[in-house]
Structure 1
Amino acid sequence: MATREAKAERIEIRTTAEVKALLQQAAIASHKNVTDFLVDAGVTAAEEALMDRRTFRLDEERWKAFNEILDRPVVHKPRLAALLAKKSIIE
């Protein structure tokens, strides 16, 4: 978080005693309180989860190659079509 804002929102979680103890140990090892540790870790995880969905950073050469791949004509792949047509073992 780049700026310091007043903390007005609250998030509550339930967990096991083991997970709570682990989080407390990690916070202590990081020289933080549990709240700051969880917020920092959560924000980092959230940014990483969203980054792959929002941002592409490519140099000019790779951008051109990426666009060339996107512009290729569709090639029918019978084996892939057959595989995707099968019912999954987890269904």
Structure 2
Amino acid sequence: MSHDHENDSIRKTGLASYRRSKADARDRSRSLSDFVLESALGRAEETLADRHSFSLDAEKWAAFMAALDAPTRDLPRLKRLLSEPSIFSGRDPA
């Protein structure tokens, strides 16, 4: 399979998935964003259901706590990305 054909297949699959999700959201009288968020959270719960606790040795625990206590970093590229319209904002992809 050529690289271009593979990319085209991925795009078609993604577009079909997007349209199916949009239709499912509409059928449930929800926004697409709410539908996707709910689906993602449900999948995360399924994935992590058997993990009730996580254990770390003292060194990793200290690193974990230091990361939690550290001040937040300014991430301009992430800020810019999150300020752009989402594919879930209601406009159809080109």
Category of TM-score, reference length = shorter chain: 0.3 to 0.5
Which structure shows the higher helix fraction? 2
- Greater RCO (Cα-Cα under 8 Å, separation 6 or more): 2
Largest Rg, 1 or 2: 1
